[in-house]
Chains A and B, each alone.
Chain A
Amino acid sequence: GENVEQHPSTLSVQEGDSAVIKCTYSDSASNYFPWYKQELGKRPQLIIDIRSNVGEKKDQRIAVTLNKTAKHFSLHITETQPEDSAVYFCAAPGGGSQGNLIFGKGTKLSVKP
C-alpha cells in the first residue's frame, strides 16, 4: 500500500520568510496530492491540491510542486504570516487513485511575528 513520509515535523520561521514542507510517496500509480491545514482544535481543511498531469500549481502565497519521477511533492508558502501557523498534512491516495487518502504525519509550522 501507499506510504507517505513528511518532513520536517516542526518548522519555525520569521514572519515574511518562506516555508517549505516536503513529502514523498511510494505508489507510482498515485495521481492526486492534496495538502490540508489544521489549526489548533479545528478540522483539517484543504488548502491546495495537485494532480499528476501538472508539475506545479499556485494559489496566491501557496504553491505545490510535484516530481513524479522522484515521487515527491512539496508545499511552498511565501511571505508567511502568523495566521499561517498550523499543522500541515500532505496526502496521497491509498489505492493509487482518488480513493482513501493516506496522510503524512504532519508538520507543525510556527510563524513568529
Chain B
Amino acid sequence: GAGVSQSPSNKVTEKGKDVELRCDPISGHTALYWYRQRLGQGLEFLIYFQGNSAPDKSGLPSDRFSAERTGESVSTLTIQRTQQEDSAVYLCASSAGELFFGEGSRLTVL
C-alpha cells in the first residue's frame, strides 16, 4: 500500500478483555516496529521485527503483551487481560531506511 495501515483506528474495551491490533506495513519494508504513546507523552518502544523474527522484544511491558509478524507482511500486537494503564495510542512503523509511521490505534480500556 501507499503507507502504513493500522486497524482498528479506535478501540474501546473493558478491563480484562483481550485486544488485537493490526499493522500493514509498506510493501517491501523488512523492518517493522511497534511503539506506545500515552496521552501527551513520548514514544515508548515495544518491539521490533526484521522479517518475521523479533531481534528485540525488550520493550514489551509485561507477558500480557505479544506480537507476531507473518513474513515481511502484516503484524499483530495482542494485549491480553487489558488494564486501564494499557490505554494509549499504539503506533506501528515500517522501514527500509527511514521510519514511516501509521496513524495509530487508539486503545481505551474502561
Pick from A36, A94, A104, A105: contact of B45, CB below 8 A.
Answer: A94
If A94-B56, A99-B48, A101-B33 touch, whether A43 touches B42 (CB-CB below 8 Å) is no
18 contacting pairs across A/B (C-beta < 8 A): A1-B58, A34-B98, A36-B99, A43-B103, A44-B91, A45-B101, A46-B98, A46-B99, A49-B98, A94-B56, A99-B31, A99-B50, A100-B33, A100-B48, A101-B99, A102-B45, A105-B41, A106-B41
Q: How many residues does chain B have at the interface if contact means C-beta atoms less than 8 Å apart?
A: 22
Which residues in A have some Cβ–Cβ distance to B below 8 Å?
Answer: 1, 34, 36, 42-46, 49, 89, 94-95, 98-106
Residue of B nearest to A95 (CB): B56
| A100-B59, A101-B33, A103-B42 given; 16 more Cβ-contact pairs under 8 Å | A1-B58, A34-B99, A36-B99, A42-B103, A43-B101, A43-B102, A43-B104, A44-B43, A49-B98, A89-B42, A94-B48, A99-B31, A99-B56, A101-B99, A103-B45, A106-B41
Contact: A103 with B43, CB < 8 Å? Answer: yes
Contact: B43 with A43, CB < 8 Å? Answer: no
A44 to B103, CA, bound (A): 9
Residues on B with C-beta less than 8 A from A104 are 42
User: Is B55's beta carbon under 8 Å from chain A?
Assistant: yes
Closest CB in chain B relative to A80 CB, distance in Å: 22
Residue of B nearest to A9 (CB): B42
Residue of A nearest to B98 (CB): A46
A108 to B15, CA, bound (A): 32
Closest CB in chain B relative to A32 CB, distance in Å: 9
Residues on A with C-beta less than 8 A from B33 are 100-101
Pick from B41, B59, B91, B98: contact of A43, CB below 8 A.
Answer: B91
Closest CB in chain A relative to B96 CB, distance in Å: 11
Contact: B45 with A101, CB < 8 Å? Answer: yes
The 6 closest A-B pairs by CB, nearest first: A100-B48, A105-B42, A103-B43, A43-B101, A106-B42, A44-B101
